[in-house]
Amino acid sequence: MTEDKSELLVNALITKMEAMDSNIEILKQENERLKSIINNPQKLFKKMGMVKSTTPFVEDVQDDPFRNDINNDSILKGINSAIPQTNEEFHNMDWEEIHELANQAKKTDVIQ
């Protein structure tokens, strides 16, 4: 009788351990999938439903140094025209460069 109980207990423990092991494997696979999504921002943005798009330059507005559409007068004044063209380039800028762009915009009377 005690052997039956001990055998039943061992079988229950083995079944429980196998179930836990399969759950751990599922979590490992899920973790790898999430890591691959996080390591690739394009996949993450796609999952979020974001779509890459570009906006054309507007023709009927004043020159905007932040969009790199500085007129020739500004270039002749010696203003640095190496302004980023993409969001990624803007995100890679440090605060010092951003403040420099703002100061250039003030000098060209774009920002008052």
pLDDT above 90 covers what percent of the chain? 24
The answer, yes or no, to whether residue 91 has pLDDT greater than 70, is yes
Q: Is the pTM of this model over 0.75?
A: no
The answer, yes or no, to whether residue 112 has pLDDT greater than 80, is no
pLDDT digits (tens, 9 = 90+) for 21-48: 999 999 999 999 888 878 887 777 887 8
Taking 3-state DSSP, the helix, strand and coil percentages for the chain, each rounded to the nearest 5, stand at 65, 0, 35
Domain spans, the chain = 2-48, 65-107
| pLDDT number for residue 39 | 85
- Residue 97 and residue 27: Cα distance in Å, rounded? 43
Q: Which residues contact 65 (CB under 8 A, 6 or more apart)?
A: 74, 79, 81, 83, 101, 104, 105, 108, 110
- Computed from CA positions of residues 39, 44, 47, 51, in that sequence, does the dihedral angle turn out positive or negative? negative
